[in-house]
Amino acid sequence: MTSPTDPRDHRLTEQRNPDTVDIDLADASGIVELLNRQDRLVPEAVWAVRHEIARAIEMVERAFRAGGRLIYVGAGTSGRLGVLDAAECPPTFGSPPEMVQGIIAGGAAALIRGAEGAEDDFDAGGAAVDAKDARANDVVFGIAASGTTPYVRGALTRAAARGAGTVLLSCTDPPSGLLANVDIAILPKVGPEALTGSTRMKAGTATKLVLNTVTTGAMIRMGRAYGNLMVDLVALSDKLRDRGERIVMEVCGVERDAARRAIAGAAGHVKTAIVMLRRHVDGAGAERLLAEAGGSVRGAVGEPPPPVTRGDPRD
């Protein structure tokens, strides 16, 4: 933070980027080049924390297997990205909406209009976790690009007190006091922003990459994919119906009409249709096989199932 005699903020996300100090003198092409050079640093920063991301995937998988939830908490851009990732899980993976949830400081209104002052309320973060009734089987995942957001600190402090697993995603080194309440810290150091302090840029990009990886990884581990196919989608729109039919055609080697009939017989559930066709059973039989295989298509069709991560979500 700043001092009375030093105007600099020593958080990495607030430092001035020496490579873009004259960005206001650049033409449109020059701005694109300068910003893109900075954006190319983000994947490497995320790669550097790949082991921590993998640990978070395992923690979330354990929570899901124990009937728990993943609850994102953030403010501003960080909060919006958490809510976005949570909202995209049901249509992608067929997961119930309560399985992955997002909390943003300032509530739903902050999704479309800035409510930046809401991030300063430490107690409100704790109250939001209480309102979700976070428990030991849940994972509360705080997102704070600058590492110091009081709302997120309050949420993680309260989550730890309630026995929930805790993860922090930040693009700078957070205060040691905050780390005391965190089981896993994911810290992709993307460096100073092209526009000083604008963490909607590199930090926001890194955040989306990490969140996408965590939920995609955990859902894959839960059997909500077969190979790299989204077999747990529910075909409720024209685009998804077409995608579902193409998945069944490819996996089962049937024509579109047969795929369409199978999906209809499976009440729109693509993975059920696959098992019906591969195991020559009706919908009820396919559902039973899937339940016995823990939701894994591989297990239900008689292939070796993927490994399972078990244990306390905080391990």
**Exposure of 254 by Cβ count < 10 A (0-12 exposed, 13-18 middle, 19+ buried)?**
middle
Compute and round to an integer the Cα radius of gyration of the chain.
22
H or E, element range at 142 = strand 139-143
3-state secondary structure 287-313: HHHHHHCCCCHHHHCCCCCCCCCCCCC
Question: Is 98 a residue of the active site?
Answer: no
CA 306 to chain CA centroid, nearest Å:
21
Catalytic residue among 119, 193, 245, 287: 119
Is 255 marked active-site?
no
The Cα 247–Cα 17 span in angstroms is: 46
Residues with Cβ within 8 Å of residue 193, at least 6 apart in sequence:
13, 17, 38, 199, 201, 202, 203
- Which residues are bridge partners to 2 per DSSP? none
**Which residues are identified as catalytic?**
88, 119
